[in-house]
Amino acid sequence: HFWAAQQGREALKVDWDPGAGAALDTAALLAEYRKLAAADGKVAATAGDAPGTLAKAGKVVDVEYVLPYLAHAPMEPLNATVRIGADGCDIWTGTQMQTMEQMTAAAITGLKPEQVRIHTTFLGGGFGRRATPSCDWVSEAVHVAQAAGTAVKTVWTREDDVRGGYYRPMVVHRIRAALGSDGLPQAWDHMVVCQSVLAGSPFEAMIPKNGVDPASVEGAADSPYLKAIPNHRVQLQDHRAPVPVLWWRSVGHSHTAFAMECMVDELARAAGIDPVEYRRRLLADRPRLRAALDLAAAKAGWGSPLPAGRARGVAVHESFGSFVAQVAEVSVEGGRIRVHRVVCAIDCGIAVNPATIEAQMESGIAFGLGAALSSAITFKDGRVQQSNFDDYRVLRLPDMPKVEVHIVPSR
């Protein structure tokens, strides 16, 4: 059983070769990223003359945003049961990438792909972790069953996944914007320093264009805000580090939305314009985003009085065919940020099952809040410093805000 197997593993004395990443350190890596952010990279989007406009501008806002490596931390640890017999190989697992795992298992066992049968079980959280091109935990389970000569269930511990898994990349955003006399941006120059999630995968040869991994810049290079700014440029520095990275719920949007929305807030503050009104002006030609923004602001009571010590923040973003706005009601208690209420408006087209849409938004808010407030993977001497939910914190029940989801009527 699992406990006996774990005790056996703990008893092993293994002499590990620490490999190429033995000196990996988060602080040193961040210093490298900041140097890259100050240099030129590969252009992902451009119009007009952003650098020239900034050089002559009277009012410039210059901001850096740093986002850490993140684990997926699904509630169900990675596991697979494999049985190899005369008629083929059966695999029971919760997975997001069945075809790759079928091909990988066939290569390991010497069987034809059609002799490998994947039985997809319900999975206790995936978020991209169970869509790994290397098929790491499934291929491991196939090797174990092959060596054992019998059906075997292989289970990763929480520590296995936190310390030896795949991560959302660490990212640095450096954004400079010039404000015109009306307070709106006349120029936007944006550098993204990020490790490509496609590097080393079978998709690397197919998807990147001109050296730009779209998963690193999506939500920034194609941002609707930039369409309204005559001079803009988005560049990418694709940094390669010895850290395995993977798509993480919402992929590039998980960091670009944060950077874009924070910067828009900085500009609204510098211009002295209400942040909802500022977004309305920038999104004048984006009716679906504006409709979501207006609905969220109205349902949250934007502009109405709040209890002492509380404030509201707003964000709006377009991703994967959905247009979402959210208003958060926030306070600072004992030096910690506390989110009390989140009002969400979403236009995802025709709402076939409103309850599923609500559930998706509620879970996304919980997942995002945990990442924003407490989650981070850091490295020291080549090792992940976190291990379990005691030091890799996801959102706890007492921290979950009241969430209201409103679906924009849409065709």
> DSSP string of 103-135?
HHHHHHHT--GGGEEEEEPP-S--TTTT--TT-
Question: pLDDT by residue (tens digit) across 239-295?
Answer: 988 999 999 999 999 999 999 999 999 999 999 999 999 999 999 999 999 999 999
Would you state the structure tokens that stand for residue 282, as one six-digit string?
């920038």
Is the pLDDT confidence value at 405 over 90?
A: yes
Closest CA to 206 of 133, 135, 129: 133
Phi-psi region of 92 (alpha: psi -120 to 50; beta: other; left: phi over 0): beta
Residue 168's DSSP bridge partners are 70
Looking at residue 172, its pLDDT comes to 98
Per-residue confidence at 201, pLDDT binned at 50, 70, 90? Answer: confident
Question: pLDDT by residue (tens digit) across 331-389?
Answer: 999 999 999 999 999 999 999 999 999 999 999 999 999 999 999 999 999 999 999 99
Per-residue confidence at 308, pLDDT binned at 50, 70, 90? Answer: very high
* 333 or 298: which leads in pLDDT: 298
Average pLDDT over residues 314-318: 98
Q: What b/e readout covers 167-206, taking b as 16+ CB neighbours within 10 angstroms? A: bbbbbbbbbbbbbbeeebbbbbbbbbbbbbbbeebeeeee
Average pLDDT over residues 286-312: 97
Mean pLDDT, the chain, as a whole number? 96
Percent of the chain with pLDDT over 90: 93
Is the pLDDT confidence value at 322 over 90?
A: yes
Kindly report the pTM of this predicted structure: 0.95
Looking at residue 204, its pLDDT comes to 85
Percent of the chain with pLDDT over 70: 100
Looking at residue 211, its pLDDT comes to 86
- The C-alpha atoms of residue 16 and residue 384 are separated, in whole angstroms, by 15
Per-residue confidence at 189, pLDDT binned at 50, 70, 90? Answer: very high
Average pLDDT over residues 21-38: 96
Per-residue confidence at 404, pLDDT binned at 50, 70, 90? Answer: very high
Is the pLDDT confidence value at 18 over 90?
A: no
Is the pLDDT confidence value at 238 over 90?
A: yes
Average pLDDT over residues 10-16: 95
CB contact set of 79 (below 8 Å; sequence gap of 6+): 93, 137, 141, 153, 154, 155, 156
Average pLDDT over residues 167-185: 97
* Three-class SS state of 63: strand
Average pLDDT over residues 34-51: 97
Looking at residue 99, its pLDDT comes to 96
Place of tokens 């019998």: 150
Per-residue confidence at 208, pLDDT binned at 50, 70, 90? Answer: confident
